[in-house]
Amino acid sequence: MGKSVLNLVNYDFVAPKDPEASIWRYMDLAKYLSMLYTGSVYFANTLILKEDRFELSWPRRVLEQRQETTRSMFDRLYSSFLLQNPGQEESLPSIDSVVEMDEKYRSWEKNYTFVSCWHLGDVESAAMWKIYGSESKSIVIRSKISSLIDQIRRSPSFAGFGEGLDYLSVGAVQYIDFDEFEDFMYELPYARAFLKRKNFSHEKEIRVVLGKITGRTFERGIAVRVNLGSLIEEVRIGPGAEPWFIEMVKEATNKFGFDFPVNRTSLDNDPIF
């Protein structure tokens, strides 16, 4: 087997402040039933995420710094080589071509970066319900950061990845100005999966980021098997759901052998005047 999953699950970037904090994953009925059927958490390839076109893109100043560093490093290497091998200039690729190769190398990253996205918050988010389509036919599952990490660490799915499991990390997404941001730590592989534009700050997102390079073939997503009974604390149904829909979700949950509670959203609670 390849790298230890225990060692790979880490906080390389911004760690969530409270591991016991509640996290929420909003979805439609089809995705919920798929989760129950497969007993897994789905990691989507960042290539298919259409909401934010800046997924895995480079902050301008971070990229400029990387290009400058690459040029400077190879300039020193070339100078040292030519001191020892005078007259061999033509045997070396141009520094421009080296920078271009570095850009091509960076481009593979988006093909092999997968994310599982969760909303951080003490309570449900009315905005997140609206984002996820038909509120009355949507579902949210509630868990904790610590439970998610524990289940990912224990997942039997990683045994089959071997050396293809390149990276696995948990962190809070940072919402930035891509023109001004200049934390150069984010030039590291997979790091930019934890960056989004400030326009999306309402998402308060916790991400698990997985880098998988086995086979170098495109995959839309990866299902990582977990113990859903230990991961999910509660399921809630979207605002305005009909009683029949709530009962159907309860029945489906039970048929798949799970007993976590299925409740109506707290947004449907009656006010007192």
Residue 82 pLDDT: 64
CA distance 203 to 121: 10
Residue 59 pLDDT: 84
**Is the Cβ–Cβ distance between 231 and 143 less than 8 Å?**
yes
**Is the Cβ–Cβ distance between 264 and 140 less than 8 Å?**
no
Residue 230 pLDDT: 96
Query: What per-residue string of b and e applies to 81-106 under the rule 16 or more CB within 10 Å gives b?
Result: eeeeeeeeeeeeeebeebeeebeeeb
Token pair, residue 78, equals 């070339």
Global confidence as pTM: 0.82
Nearest to 215 by CA among 155, 157, 162: 162
pLDDT in tens, the chain (273 residues): 334 343 444 545 566 778 899 999 999 999 999 999 999 999 999 888 877 888 888 888 887 887 777 777 777 776 776 667 777 766 667 777 777 776 666 667 778 889 999 999 999 999 899 887 566 689 999 999 999 988 988 888 876 665 556 778 888 899 999 999 888 777 777 888 899 999 999 999 999 998 876 655 667 888 999 999 999 999 999 999 999 999 999 999 999 999 999 999 999 998 899
Quick: pLDDT tens for 179-224.
998 887 777 778 888 999 999 999 999 999 988 766 556 678 889 9
